[in-house]
Chains A and B, each alone.
Chain A
Amino acid sequence: MTDVAIVGMAQTPYRRRRDDANFAELIYEVSCGALQDAGLEVGDIDNFITVSNDFWDGRTISSMAVQDACGSSFDGGRNVSTVEGDGTFGLLYGMMRILSGAYRTTLVVVHCKGSEGNMRLITNGMFDYIYTRPLGIEATGAAALQARRYMDKYKLTEEDFAHVSIKNRGNALRNPNAQLAASLSLDEVMASTPIASPLKLHDISPISDGAAAVVLAHRNVANKLGRKPVWVKGIAHCSEAHFLGDRDLAEAPALRDAAFRAYQMAGIEDPFAEIDLVELYDAYSYMEPLWFEEMGFCSKGEGAELTRLGATAFDGPLPVNPSGGVLSAHAVMVAGLARVIEAALQIRGEAGERQVEGPVELALAHGINGPCGQSHCVVILGE
């Protein structure tokens, strides 16, 4: 349990391309939304965290290009600091700044316009320039290596992964912010265009434009606001080796470690029994069972079976990605904070048509960054 709560949040709808807004304008949209949701004004915020990536934006110090839009230059300039990576890392950083005692409130904003750059070139840029980048490998080629390794080690099939796409794209039908929502059949997923074997078109998240923001507040402030605070009960961020060949790609020890630490902080002993809902970073279909297993919800290799049995379905005992997940909308970096927002909306009971049955008292949200989930942030949210 920590002394920090989420008191306001907003996200844009996720779309293939937003020609009507540049990325600063997307930030303005969600900054206003999150402040309004919190019942605060920009002058009430004493700390700002902007999350972005220079390659995606096509400019250096991209995080400083949204100051006007999020209000951090208000009144001659407020304290602002930046993160490059997933939006969940920005949440962690913003929270730590509040816990330092120096700040009471923090606005965390994140944006990405995937439509404006070239995803293949940009994600090739995350690899080292000597050994890996000259091969032309990028995010999806690397993910395909991980999917194959995971299948081979735990005797899984492409059909196992297809069921994840069917579930999540189906869940997205209830989410107006989702970009890809569909009732897919197993045949449709299996017959979709091969991209990088074993991954096919419907195993892969879309390229999206979008932004998200949350307002964090210290307990002393959070309890005085009209809104029900959603508490950050546990959080941890861990990372593993850079070279793909240094890792057993069927394992994610950084996630195991991050989940363990977050559970410890939140006092969770049996995650499957205690956690009511999971929003995790399924950039590719196979990632959902892989991450789910490493979070300790089931044994290794059993995640796909649980999905097939409906355990992670919208109306199952432990809904996973009831929003439709990253498979249905993938504004890079934004997607992790979107998981946090979706989980927090469920705790508030304000998820609208996508609100799951029964109370959500404790939820897990998850963000990743780097090839094949090199780093993971696990956030436990609760009432």
Chain B
Amino acid sequence: MSRSAEENIIYDGRIRMPYKWAAGKTSSFFLTQLRDHAKIWGTRCSLCQMIFVPPRKNCPRCVTADTTWVELPPRGILQTYTEIHFSEPLLQPLEPPYMYGVVKLEGADTGLTHFLGEVEPEKLRSGMRMEAVFKKKEDRCGLITDLLYFRPEGGSGS
């Protein structure tokens, strides 16, 4: 190993910072419904009638908290998708390659970003009908990952 006359010292560091983030009432309802009943809920603005998933305390367009809960079907249309090939073990919850997509649930006006599964990446098409696959009840713990992934409606067929 060669060493230059002017040695540059490099410090190794890692910041570990625990947090206790409050989800808030709106997201707490969403997450407990997901955990206890495998149901996905959105919020509808009473003024513009738009339905948002993830749910919001206030409509981001009308900036009113006059919103109501709407249960959404666990299926919708694939808006866009990607297959991840790079590896980053410090971050990734799955072993690459794996897929992300944005799915607009039936009736919703916004898309939900999540994993895609039970499908070959070459078979993915924007506009495909997708359905949610949930973790088994005993494994659900009130996280967004209680929803495992979206798969093509009717299963993979494989």
Q: Which of B43-77 contact A (CB under 8 A)?
A: 52-54, 60
Q: Is the interface of A mostly helix, strand, loop or mixed?
A: mixed
Q: Which of A118-126, A268-276, A295-303, A315-323 contacts B (4 or more CB under 8 A)?
A: A118-126
- Is A13 positioned at the interface, with any CB of B under 8 Å from its CB? no
Query: Beyond A135-B100, A245-B110, is A20–B85 a contact (Cβ under 8 Å)?
Result: no
Query: Beyond A131-B144, A149-B80, is A243–B54 a contact (Cβ under 8 Å)?
Result: yes
Count of chain A to chain B residue pairs whose CB atoms are closer than 8 Å in the complex: 115
Query: Beyond A121-B90, A145-B100, is A194–B113 a contact (Cβ under 8 Å)?
Result: no
Quick one: closest B residue to A194, CB to CB? B85
**Cα distance A131–B26 when bound, in Å?**
13
Judge whether B83 and A146 touch: CB under 8 Å: no
Instruction: Pick the residue among A145, A146, A246 that contacts B52 (CB under 8 A).
Output: A246
Query: Beyond A121-B91, A135-B115, A244-B102, is A152–B86 a contact (Cβ under 8 Å)?
Result: no
- Is A239 positioned at the interface, with any CB of B under 8 Å from its CB? no
Query: Beyond A121-B90, A136-B91, is A141–B100 a contact (Cβ under 8 Å)?
Result: yes
Query: Beyond A58-B15, A245-B79, is A196–B86 a contact (Cβ under 8 Å)?
Result: yes
Quick one: closest B residue to A149, CB to CB? B80
- Is B93 positioned at the interface, with any CB of A under 8 Å from its CB? yes
Query: Beyond A130-B54, A136-B94, is A197–B85 a contact (Cβ under 8 Å)?
Result: yes
**Cα distance A195–B93 when bound, in Å?**
17
Quick one: closest A residue to B101, CB to CB? A145
In whole Å, how far is B150's beta carbon from the nearest beta carbon of chain A?
Answer: 12
- Is A294 positioned at the interface, with any CB of B under 8 Å from its CB? no
**Contact mask for chain A residues 111-129; partner B; CB cutoff 8 A; 1 contact, 0 none:** 0000000101100100001
Judge whether A130 and B102 touch: CB under 8 Å: no
- Is A264 positioned at the interface, with any CB of B under 8 Å from its CB? no
Judge whether A136 and B27 touch: CB under 8 Å: no
- Is A134 positioned at the interface, with any CB of B under 8 Å from its CB? yes
A198 / chain B contacts, CB cutoff of 8 Å: 82
Instruction: Pick the residue among A19, A130, A147 that contacts B8 (CB under 8 A).
Output: A19
Q: Which of A189-236 contact B (CB under 8 A)?
A: 193-199
- Is B133 positioned at the interface, with any CB of A under 8 Å from its CB? no
**Cα distance A362–B129 when bound, in Å?**
48
Instruction: Pick the residue among B10, B53, B110 that contacts A19 (CB under 8 A).
Output: B10
Judge whether B113 and A131 touch: CB under 8 Å: yes
Query: Beyond A118-B90, A130-B23, A244-B102, is A135–B80 a contact (Cβ under 8 Å)?
Result: no
**Cα distance A138–B88 when bound, in Å?**
11
**Cα distance A140–B83 when bound, in Å?**
11
- Is A329 positioned at the interface, with any CB of B under 8 Å from its CB? no
Judge whether B8 and A20 touch: CB under 8 Å: yes
In whole Å, how far is B14's beta carbon from the nearest beta carbon of chain A?
Answer: 9
In whole Å, how far is B33's beta carbon from the nearest beta carbon of chain A?
Answer: 14
**Cα distance A145–B114 when bound, in Å?**
11
**Cα distance A377–B144 when bound, in Å?**
33
- Is A148 positioned at the interface, with any CB of B under 8 Å from its CB? yes
In whole Å, how far is A67's beta carbon from the nearest beta carbon of chain B?
Answer: 21
B113 / chain A contacts, CB cutoff of 8 Å: 131-132, 135, 137, 145, 243-245
Judge whether A241 and B60 touch: CB under 8 Å: yes
**Cα distance A136–B88 when bound, in Å?**
9
A249 / chain B contacts, CB cutoff of 8 Å: 80, 102
Instruction: Pick the residue among A144, A149, A193, A195 that contacts B126 (CB under 8 A).
Output: A149
Quick one: closest A residue to B84, CB to CB? A196
- Is B29 positioned at the interface, with any CB of A under 8 Å from its CB? no
In whole Å, how far is A98's beta carbon from the nearest beta carbon of chain B?
Answer: 32
Q: Which of B1-46 contact A (CB under 8 A)?
A: 6, 8, 10, 13, 15, 19, 21, 23, 27, 31
**Cα distance A145–B90 when bound, in Å?**
22
Judge whether B85 and A137 touch: CB under 8 Å: no
B23 / chain A contacts, CB cutoff of 8 Å: 130
Other A-B contacts than A58-B15, A152-B126, A199-B82, 4 sampled, CB-CB below 8 A, are A136-B92, A145-B100, A148-B126, A196-B83
Chain B interface residues toward A at CB < 8 A: 6, 8, 10, 13, 15, 19, 21, 23, 27, 31, 52-54, 60, 79-86, 88, 90-94, 100-102, 104, 110-115, 121, 126, 143-145
28 A-B pairs with CB atoms under 8 Å apart are A20-B8, A58-B15, A121-B88, A130-B21, A131-B54, A135-B93, A135-B115, A136-B88, A138-B88, A138-B91, A140-B86, A145-B82, A145-B101, A145-B102, A145-B113, A148-B81, A148-B126, A149-B79, A152-B126, A193-B85, A194-B83, A197-B82, A197-B121, A243-B110, A244-B111, A245-B53, A245-B112, A246-B111
Chain A interface residues toward B at CB < 8 A: 19-20, 58, 118, 120-121, 124, 129-132, 134-138, 140-141, 144-149, 152, 193-199, 241, 243-246, 249
